Amino acid sequence: MSLVLGKDEIINKSQNFTTNLALFWLKTDLSLTNKRVIGYQPNTLLGVIPLGRNEVSFPLKNIASVSVSTKLHFVRLLVGLFFVFSALGSIGNSFLGALLFLAIGLIPLLNSFTSKMTITNNAGQPVSMEISILEKDKVQNFVNDVNISISEVA
C-alpha cells in the first residue's frame, strides 16, 4: 500500500485485516499516523467479485470515537445452511452439482459472523468496515492505538 503522507506526518502503526474468509486474499489496509487514520478497503460485487478499492482517511482531530463490534448475520447463516444441506442431500444424484452447491453455501456461511470497526466523526456520522471475526483481536489492538492517539491529540 502506497500512502501519501503530509509534511511532518509519520506512520505509527500499519495493519492488514482479512475482510472476507472466503476471499482471504482481499485485505483492508489501515495505517495510523500522528495526524490521521488512512487506508484502503476492497470493494466487491455481491460480496464475492473484487471490483477495486475504497480509500478512507480520517484526521484524528475529527474522530469522535472508534469502536469494535461483532455481529451474527442471520440471513447469511440461513442461506449458507440451506445451500450446504442441499449439497449434502444431492451428493448421491450429482457429485459435481453437490460440490457447486457446497461452494455456494460456504461463502455466506463463513461470513455469517463478522467483526466491524466503526469510526464516528465529530458530526456523529459513522463509517463502518466489516472484517473477519478471526481478526477481531488485531482490530481491537488497532482501535486501542487509535483511541490513545486521539486522546493525545486532544
- Residue pLDDT tens, the chain, 154 long: 577 777 888 888 999 998 888 778 888 899 999 889 998 888 877 666 778 888 888 999 999 999 999 999 999 899 999 999 988 888 888 888 888 888 888 888 888 888 999 999 998 899 898 898 989 999 999 999 999 999 887 6
Its pTM surpasses 0.75: yes
- Torsion sign, CA atoms 133, 134, 135, 141: positive
Would you say 19 and 132 are in contact if contact means Cβ atoms under 8 Å apart? yes
Tell me the domain boundaries of the chain: 1-68+115-154, 74-110
Q: In what order do the strands lie in the sheet with 126-132?
A: 63-72, 113-121, 126-132
Fold for the domain defined by 1-68+115-154 = PH-domain like (2.30.29)
